[in-house]
Amino acid sequence: MFCAAAMFVLGGLDLLLLGGGSTAYGVLFLPVCALTALWVRKGDLLTAPIVVPIGFAVGLLPVINGDVGFLGKLMSLVTALATEAPWLYAGTLIAGGTALARRVALAARRRAVRRRLAG
């Protein structure tokens, strides 16, 4: 929820202040991915790399310049997702790497506690 809301707000600000520049939107997406992976609950760590692409798509809604109508907007969204794929992949990789690092740290902490209790 955080990622989708943050990207929607950043997409709107990008459109308002920078005229909908895709590079600025992509650059702003990367720290949101890292924050999403850092703030997700321990039990939901595996979902971080899944929700960031959804947030990216939600944030593109104010940025895209599509024809009037549902199908025109949908085609503009699909085109924007295709042309902005490197940002999407980079953000997903950041979220996945951060979530994986957190998961490894949690497992190491659990192992250390078990050793201390058994030991």
* Extents of the domains making up the chain: 2-118
| Among candidate residues 102, 100, 109, 63, the one with its CA nearest the CA of residue 83 | 63
Would you state the structure tokens that stand for residue 58, as one six-digit string? 């939600």
* pLDDT > 80? residue 67: no
Segment 33-54 mean pLDDT: 89
* pLDDT number for residue 80: 86
* pLDDT number for residue 71: 87
0.85 surpassed by pTM: no
Count CB atoms within 10 A of the CB of residue 91. Answer: 27
For 69-82, write each residue's pLDDT tens digit.
888 888 888 988 89
* pLDDT > 90? residue 30: yes
